[in-house]
Amino acid sequence: MEQNILDFITYLREVKGSSPNTIQAYQADLNKLCMFLAKQENISVTTISETNLNSYVLHLEKEGYSPASVSRNISTIKAFFLFLLKRGKIANDPSERLSPPKVTRKPPEFLGTKEMNKLLQQPDLNTPKGIRDKAILELLYATGIKVSELVSLKVQDLNLKMKYITCGGKNERNIPIGKKARNALEQYLNIRQETFNKRNIDYLFLNTSGEKLSRQGLWKILKEYALSAEIDGINPNKIRQTFAMHLLNNGADLESVREFMGHNDIMTTQQYLTHSYTNSRVVYEKTHPRA
């Protein structure tokens, strides 16, 4: 089974062009399944049954995995066995009738405008680190992009003259950026090459060693300023949700916010509520608090 998993991971990477984070999640889920099945005798990909997979799902639930985590594992299993079926490795798909548990969506958590402004005021602009961090915070709030998208941005993904960034990999999209974020980015770019880019790499945000800023590094930065601003429970996703809610609360239409957030399904954006229309650029400039 291990070789089949490796073949599937290679397919995700080389054919589907999945992101490193997606590939890592798929591999971790399948390795867990493999370890569970290894405790049972004479099981291979050709002999795995629907009963075996249902037993595994029950095992995850007993181990305390959340409904969302169980659902993700089931999605991984289904994708894996569909891959094997299409390549003739198995005659029947044992995962076909697996159904995920119902997942109750939590209402979006977001910061008020005053809280967000207080957070944005924390970096010390008299230091290179503060200038970089200010650009990071302003860009997160200005665009609502994910952590993985922000740390993967390259200098060429910025178009300050046309007032937008390009991000998203396979789900590529252009997102407008307001004046405050542009000013912060310009200030950072003025010191980036001399202060941070010791290894001459093209990722936009670099750590003090001149390497690509990691997801963990970004979380650490956010935690530092949340502490100094005396704001509890801040994480990158909360800023992403703050971006969406502030736009909607100021009259942006749902479809424009869907485009900015990179949601494939309007139902995902629906949780943020509200309606209105006009083209996305006009909506952004009229409704984002720091545009």
Listed by start position, the domains of the chain span 2-86, 113-287
Mean pLDDT of 134-159: 95
- What whole-number distance in Å separates Cα of residue 44 and Cα of residue 28? 19
Instruction: Indicate the pTM of the whole model.
Output: 0.62
CB crowding 250-287: b at 16 or more within 10 Å, else e: bebbbebbbbbbbbeeeeebeebebeeeeebeebbeeb
Say what the alpha-carbon torsion angle 153, 159, 165, 171 is, to the nearest 10 degrees: -80
Mean pLDDT of 138-158: 94
Q: Tens digit of pLDDT for each residue in 179-208?
A: 999 999 999 999 999 999 878 899 999 999
CATH of the domain spanning 113-287, picked from 3.40.50.720, 1.25.40.320, 1.10.443.10, 1.10.10.920: 1.10.443.10
Interhelix angle 236-249/215-228, rounded to 10 degrees, is: 70
Confidence of residue 279 (pLDDT cuts 50, 70, 90): very low
Could you tell me the CATH superfamily of domain 2-86?
Tyrosine recombinase, N-terminal domain (1.10.150.130)
Count of beta carbons in the 10 Å neighbourhood of residue 36: 16
- Do the domains 2-86 and 113-287 sit in the same CATH topology, yes or no? no
Confidence of residue 145 (pLDDT cuts 50, 70, 90): very high
User: Taking 80 as the threshold, does the pLDDT of residue 170 lie above it?
Assistant: no
- What whole-number distance in Å separates Cα of residue 169 and Cα of residue 182? 22
Q: Helix or strand or coil: residue 176? A: strand
> How deeply is 107 buried, as exposed, middle or buried, from its count of CB atoms within 10 A (0-12, 13-18, 19+)?
exposed
Q: What is the pLDDT of residue 65?
A: 87
Asked whether the beta carbons of 35 and 76 are under 8 A apart, the reply is no
Q: Tens digit of pLDDT for each residue in 65-121?
A: 888 789 889 999 999 999 999 999 999 999 999 888 876 666 678 898 999 999 999
Asked whether the beta carbons of 165 and 157 are under 8 A apart, the reply is yes
Q: What is the pLDDT of residue 78?
A: 94
Share of the chain above pLDDT 90, in %: 57
Higher per-residue pLDDT: 80 or 276: 80
Asked whether the beta carbons of 254 and 269 are under 8 A apart, the reply is yes
Q: Tens digit of pLDDT for each residue in 202-227?
A: 999 999 999 999 999 999 999 999 99
Helices vs strands, H then E, count in the chain:
13, 3
Q: What is the pLDDT of residue 219?
A: 93
Higher per-residue pLDDT: 257 or 152: 152
**Would you please indicate which residues are annotated as catalytic (active-site) residues?**
170, 240, 263, 272
